[in-house]
Structure 1
Amino acid sequence: MPRKKSDDFVPHPRYGDEPRLTGLNPKENSGTGKVYLHWHSPSEVRVPNTAIAADTSRQLQPTIAVTHYFDSRRRCVDCRDSFLFFAAEQKYWYEVLGFPLESNCVRCVPCRKKQRGLETQRQRYEDLFALEDRTANQDIELVESALTLVAAGMFGTRTLERMRSLLKQAEPHRKLEGLWRRLREIEEASR
């Protein structure tokens, strides 16, 4: 059964899964100084007729301001699925959030959320690790964070040795059995 066009792209919760046609399709005219398109959206990834005008005064001190954004086709560096980096999303990134024009979208929304979750998990791990006197619950949370980060490839397997030692010293807790099981599964998967 042939796939529908909308099935080709990972859905974005705000912008959907299909290009947003505007009828605007400017061409870059180097030398005239009127239209400058984004370096990370070359013609082969731009979706024609999806451009929106940029407000160059809101871009973060660019060397050369971008005058228009296009919906552009991307492939996620993590899951390898196709997604759209929408023109409206680019406008929001560069003009509202203040990202520099050098910033590029390389992950689909689900993988971006997963990445942010892992970064939050890593920060929590570091905060807990730095505590001199952790409670039993904080030790458990530290082990949970470490196991998640090892499984995601953010930490190496040497971390498992430290977590094994911490679990051996842990006071009895209802989560211990599950943590031991996760630790063994991660060790098996890393062999």
Structure 2
Amino acid sequence: MHHSYYIDIPLYYLDREFQCKDCGSDEVWTAKQQKWWYEIAKGDFETSAVHCRPCRKKRNQSKAEQKAHMEAMAKKNPHPNEAFFKKGFIKE
């Protein structure tokens, strides 16, 4: 386990209340969730939960949709006039 001389590693975890940054709902970051975050996922000890589960799910879904869109755009054939707009094609 990583040990920092500046931050005390907790010997036990307590449920911590927080307010979601996106929707403002009052939530609880459970001791079990904290243990998983710090010890299994190796999250930074200076971090804590800031989004509720539904908002995290919504954000992850949005990121997945953006990634899928960008991958689809990369596979798409370029527009026939695209070469005209590429740098160096137009002489100044």
Aligned AA for 1:73? E
3-state DSSP class of the match of 2:27?
A: strand
Name 1:82's counterpart in structure 2. 26
3-state DSSP class of the match of 1:69?
A: coil
In structure 2, distance between residues paired with 1:130 and 1:103 = 35
In structure 2, distance between residues paired with 1:101 and 1:122 = 30
Pick aligned residue for 1:124 from 68, 74, 83:
68
Pick aligned residue for 2:57 from 110, 113, 134:
113
How many correspondences in the alignment? 76
Q: Which runs of 4+ in 1 moved over 4 A?
A: none
Aligned AA for 2:13? Y
Which structure's relative contact order is higher, taking Cα pairs within 8 Å and 6+ residues apart?
A: 2
Superposition deviation, residue 75 in structure 1: 0.7
Name 2:9's counterpart in structure 1. 66
Superposition deviation, residue 113 in structure 1: 0.7
TM-score, scaled to structure 1? 0.37
In structure 1, distance between residues paired with 2:65 and 2:31 = 31
Superposition deviation, residue 61 in structure 1: 4.4
Name 2:82's counterpart in structure 1. none
In structure 1, distance between residues paired with 2:68 and 2:8 = 38
1:43-93 residue CA offsets vs partner (Å, 9 max, x unmatched)? xxxxxxxxxxxxxx3xx4434232232101111111111110111110100
Name 2:41's counterpart in structure 1. 97
Aligned AA for 1:66? I
In structure 2, distance between residues paired with 1:105 and 1:130 = 34
TM-score, scaled to structure 2? 0.71
3-state DSSP class of the match of 2:18?
A: strand
Which residues of 2 match residues 132-151 of structure 1 at below 5 A? 132-133=76-77
Identity of aligned residues (%): 28
RMSD, matched Cα: 1.8
3-state DSSP class of the match of 2:39?
A: helix
Q: 1:61 to 1:127 in 2, by over 3 A?
A: farther
